[in-house]
Amino acid sequence: MTTLSELGEFGLIARVTAGLKQGGGVVVGTGDDCAVLRLGNGLLLASCDAFIENIHFKREWASPRDIGWKAAASALSDIAAMGGTALYVLATVGSPKDSDALFVQEVCAGIAESVEACGAALVGGDMTGSPGPLILDIAVLGEVSGGRYLARSGALPGDLLAVTGYPGQSAAGLLALIHGIDAPPLIQAHLRPEPRLAEGRWLARQPGAHAMIDLSDGLLQDLGHIAGRSGVGINVDSDLVPMAPALNGFESTISQPLESLTLSGGEDYELAVALDPADAESLCAAFAAEFGHPLTVVGFAEQGWTGIRLDGQEAGQRGFDHFGAI
């Protein structure tokens, strides 16, 4: 018998999706942040994300509205990863029958607040009982603007890989909650992430942008998905990965290097994008001028091998795996 911990989250996904038949209207099926579906003359984006108590959140660390906000934000980030516009959200809530009704109402209010902040509409869902923890499942629908989306599979040899903002802040916020460290900006980054929807649409409009993904499982892990889908090798230079000002001095309060947070910490919901090297410098400058936070080159793609390397060496533990050791 092979256990899930031996197979891993992504090994299981590969098994259950192998050989799935796709209909004629499927432009992009399994293996990306969203399915891309042909609908009339347009393209529909569809995705869903589960959010499970004691896996994705703990009640003692988050208000019910924070829980709902983050559940919706993590799902909406998949639309951002394709460069799309979020339109509609459906939410499933499963809770034990002896739960505080007001608590569940506030979770739902947080979902609605997050959806509204992204310009989308909460249009339905399902309420069900749960014998165990609180379970949320968020389905999102969006559209492709201008007929162009960015998938994970478009990176080319020679492309430069860049990341928006500052990865690692959410993981630092989680450590702050675990250890009782007073770090409001980092805790806010963990509890109330903001999907990069406008940034994703802007990047999708740029001809020099070739592939994109959102950072849910960590920079190395998610760049590895681009590498795998694109059939390229990606080298990441750890010295190039930007460090958030809020992380200054944080290393002295925890028992691990900040690099482990910026490279492998998940749930930042920043975007990583593959750029034509001829356009990368101008795109990074234009992005910073447009949004007020950086787009930073952190590595490059090459042919001849597939996977992810850090400073020229094979990367070890790269990020979150639901059935892995972390």
Reported as a single tens digit per residue, the pLDDT across 21-71 is 787 899 999 889 999 999 998 999 999 999 999 999 999 999 999 999 999
Using a pLDDT cut of 70, give the percent of the chain over it: 97
317/51 Cα distance (integer angstroms)? 23
Which residue stretches of the chain are H helix? 4-7, 9-17, 64-82, 101-117, 169-179, 184-191, 197-204, 219-230, 258-264, 280-291
Count other Cβ atoms within 10 Å, centred on residue 14. 14
Q: Given this chain, do its domains 20-147 and 152-314 carry the same CATH topology?
A: no
Please check whether the domain covering 20-147 is classified as CATH 3.30.70.1070.
Answer: no
> Does pLDDT of 93 surpass 70?
yes
Count other Cβ atoms within 10 Å, centred on residue 38. 13
Kindly report, residue by residue over 180-189, the tens digit of the pLDDT.
999 999 999 9
Instruction: Please tell me the predicted confidence (pLDDT) of residue 319.
Output: 55
Tokens (6 digits) for 40: 């009339």
Instruction: Please tell me the predicted confidence (pLDDT) of residue 6.
Output: 82
Using a pLDDT cut of 90, give the percent of the chain over it: 83
The band of 317, judged by pLDDT with boundaries at 50, 70 and 90, is: low
Instruction: Please tell me the predicted confidence (pLDDT) of residue 17.
Output: 76
Instruction: Please tell me the predicted confidence (pLDDT) of residue 5.
Output: 81
The band of 138, judged by pLDDT with boundaries at 50, 70 and 90, is: very high
Residue 31, CA distances (Å) to 54, 152, 160 in order: 26, 8, 22
> Does pLDDT of 323 surpass 50?
no
The ranges assigned to domains in the chain are: 20-147, 152-314
Kindly report, residue by residue over 73-83, the tens digit of the pLDDT.
999 999 999 99
Q: Which of 160-174, 241-255, 288-302 has the lowest mean pLDDT?
A: 241-255
The band of 145, judged by pLDDT with boundaries at 50, 70 and 90, is: confident
Single pTM value for the model: 0.94
Which residues lie closer than 8 Å to 250 by C-beta, 6 or more apart? 172, 181, 183, 186, 258
197/89 Cα distance (integer angstroms)? 15
Q: Identify which has the larger pLDDT, 251 or 307.
A: 307
290/202 Cα distance (integer angstroms)? 9
Instruction: Please tell me the predicted confidence (pLDDT) of residue 326.
Output: 36
Amino acid at site 6: E
Instruction: Please tell me the predicted confidence (pLDDT) of residue 302.
Output: 98
Nearest to 172 by CA among 187, 162, 152: 187
Kindly report, residue by residue over 155-172, the tens digit of the pLDDT.
999 999 999 999 999 999
Mean pLDDT of 124-139: 96
Architecture of domain 152-314: Alpha-Beta Complex (3.90)
97/9 Cα distance (integer angstroms)? 30
Mean per-residue pLDDT over the chain, rounded: 94
